[in-house]
Amino acid sequence: MNDISVIKFKGQSKLTLEGYVGYFLITKDGDLKYDVLQYPLSLSSFVDFDVDKEFKIFQRKIPENRSKIIRTSSGFKELNSDLERYIKNKTSSDKVFKDKMMLAIKNEDLDVLNTFVTDFFDGWVKALKISVTVESMSYSDLSKQLSKIGNTDETLSILKRNDLQNFSEAYPIVDPISGKSINNFDVGEKIYFTVLRFSDDKSKDEMIKKSPNAFNGQGENISPLVGRLISKEFVPELGEDFTLIKIESQGNYFKALVLNSMNLMTASVGIPTFRNNEGKNNEGKNNAYDSFKNKKNEEEVHVKLSDVLVSIILVGGIIGTVMTIIYFLFTK
C-alpha cells in the first residue's frame, strides 16, 4: 500500500431522492480523514464532480459545492452536520472498517470497496447506489499535486523575484491528517519537502549526489527531503492565503509559496517509509533521516540507563534505612 490512498465515491438514493459525494483518505499507518456532501437531487445541476479527477480537484470541490447547496437550500446545512456526526460515530465504533478498506485497497478490489462504502452508510440512508475509484500516491506525489493550487501569473511572478532567482523550487510535504499550518512553523525548524524543479543542473547534481535514494533514475524527487526553514515572508500582493518560505538543505536553497490552509508534515510525525515508482521500499534513507532516527534511538537508550540507575539508588537507600532501623532495635 502506498503512503496515502483516497477512496472517492459518488452516488444517489432513489428512495430519498438525495445525492452523496465524498472521500475516505487512509494512510498506510491507518490514519483516516474524510469529507462527504449530501444534497437534494433537484439541485444536482449545481454539483459538478468527477471521481476520476485528481484528488486535489475533487477535495476542493466538496466545500465549494457545500456552500452553493446551503445557500440555495439552507435546511441541508443541519442535515450535513448530522451526517458528519454519523460518520464520526461510525468510524469510532466500527474498529475494523479501516482494516477492511486497507485490505481491499491492497487487493485492488473496487467491488469490495463499493460494498464496504455502501454498508458504511446503511444506517444513514437506504438504497444507496454509488461508484467508487481509488487514487493511491506517495506523500511527495500528494504534495506536488497540491502545490499547483492557486498557481496564477501573479503568484508565479513572486517566485521570479531577483533575490529568489538562484533558488530551486520546492513544496513542503503535505500531511492532511497530522500536520500543521506553515503559520505554526518557526524559522530554524526542521521541515520536510519535495523538489518541484531545480534552478540549474549543478544544484540538481549536488542534491542527487548527497541524497541518491530520494531520486529516481530520471532525476525526479520521489522521496521527501528534510531541510531547515530559514525564512517566512508575508506577501501583501497575495493577501492572507499564502506564505513565501525559504528552505536550506545540505547547502542547497529552495523557495516555495505555501497555502496557509495546508497541513504540513512535522518532525513529531516520525520518519515514514517512502516508496519509489516501482512500489519497492528504498534501500536506504538519506543521511538527514538516518541521523534523526539514530539520535532518537540514542536518547531512548540514555533514558533507559538513567531509569536503571535511579532504581538502583532508590533500592539501595531503602535497604540502608531498613538496616539502620534493625541495628538500633537490636543493639539497645
Per-residue pLDDT reduced to its tens digit, 204-229: 999 999 999 999 999 999 989 999 99
Average pLDDT in the 166-176 region?
95
Taking only the tens place, the pLDDT of each residue in 236-285 is 888 788 999 999 999 999 999 999 989 999 876 554 443 444 444 443 34
Question: Average pLDDT over the chain, rounded to whole?
Answer: 82
- Note the pLDDT of residue 275: 44
Average pLDDT in the 198-202 region?
95
Higher pLDDT, 305 or 90: 90
- Note the pLDDT of residue 180: 94
Q: Would you place residue 320 in the very low, low, confident or very high pLDDT band (cuts 50, 70, 90)?
A: low
- Note the pLDDT of residue 27: 92
Average pLDDT in the 308-324 region?
51
Average pLDDT in the 124-132 region?
93
Q: Which amino acid is at 232?
A: K
Q: Would you place residue 188 in the very low, low, confident or very high pLDDT band (cuts 50, 70, 90)?
A: very high
Q: Is the pLDDT reported for residue 133 higher than 60?
A: yes
**What 3-state DSSP class applies to 109?**
coil
Percent of the chain having pLDDT more than 90?
53
Q: Is the pLDDT reported for residue 2 higher than 70?
A: yes
Q: Is 278 exposed, middle or buried (0-12, 13-18, 19+ CB in 10 A)?
A: exposed
Q: Is 19 exposed, middle or buried (0-12, 13-18, 19+ CB in 10 A)?
A: buried
Contacts 24+ apart (CB under 8 A), 205-212: 206/251, 206/252, 207/168, 207/249, 207/250, 207/252, 210/250, 210/286, 210/287, 211/250, 211/286, 211/287, 211/288
Average pLDDT in the 15-29 region?
92
Higher pLDDT, 273 or 61: 61
12, 41 contact by CB (below 8 A) = yes
Average pLDDT in the 122-140 region?
93
d(CA 21, CA 41): 12
The domain limits of the chain are 4-137, 141-285
d(CA 198, CA 10): 39
Q: Is the pLDDT reported for residue 91 higher than 80?
A: yes
- Note the pLDDT of residue 125: 93
Q: What are the cell numbers at 167?
A: 533558488
Q: Which amino acid is at 155?
A: T
Q: What are the cell numbers at 145?
A: 499535486
Average pLDDT in the 8-18 region?
91
Average pLDDT in the 277-300 region?
41
Query: Which parts of 42-177 fold into alpha helices (H)?
Result: 55-72, 75-93, 97-106, 110-120, 139-146, 153-158
Read off the DSSP letter of residue 264. B
Q: 82-98 as b/e, with b when 16 or more CB fall inside 10 Å?
A: ebeebbeeeeeeeeebb
30, 1 contact by CB (below 8 A) = no
Average pLDDT in the 67-84 region?
88
